[in-house]
Amino acid sequence: KAGVTQTPRYLIKTRGQQVTLSCSPISGHRSVSWYQQTPGQGLQFLFEYFSETQRNKGNFPGRFSGRQFSNSRSEMNVSTLELGDSALYLCASSLLYNTGELFFGEGSRLTVL
């Protein structure tokens, strides 16, 4: 069974640009969550989607947004990039909503110059 797939794995952007990251969950999983991982702040929750609806949102500015499609695939977008947005963005899927049993992808490493 294929795991969570994230694309692209690495990308470099400059300040002010925007970026879109993609996540394909494990087949059959309907919930997709996004986390930001940095050395200073650790793992921080961005948002969670279930059945194409955003169910939860973390404490991030509105520049961070996401969506989920009918096939459960998800994208997140960061607009007007800042240097502090450099991080590993992790997508996780779970079979059900309201479970802590998350299966993470390998992440998309974003560098903002």
Partner 1 sequence: QQQVKQSPQSLIVQKGGIPIINCAYENTAFDYFPWYQQFPGKGPALLIAIRPDVSEKKEGRFTISFNKSAKQFSLHIMDSQPGDSATYFCAASFGEETSGSRLTFGEGTQLTVNP
Chain residues that interact with partner 1, rule: CB under 8 A = 4, 31, 33, 35, 42-45, 48, 50, 55-56, 58, 90, 92, 94, 97-107
Nearer to partner 1, 38 or 80 (CB): 38
Please provide residue 28's backbone torsions phi and psi, each rounded to the nearest 5 degrees.
95, -20
Q: Are the C-beta atoms of 105 and 2 separated by less than 8 Å?
A: no
Q: Are 81 and 18 in contact (CB under 8 A)?
A: yes
CB of 18 to partner 1, least distance (A): 24
Cα torsion 103, 63, 75, 32 to 10°: value is: 30
- Closest approach, Cβ 110 to partner 1, in A, equals 15
Between 65 and 79, name the residue whose CB sits nearer to partner 1. Answer: 65
13 versus 57: smaller Cβ distance to partner 1: 57
Residue pair 93/31 in contact by the 8 Å Cβ criterion: yes
- Considering the complex, what minimum distance in angstroms separates the CB of residue 64 from partner 1? 15
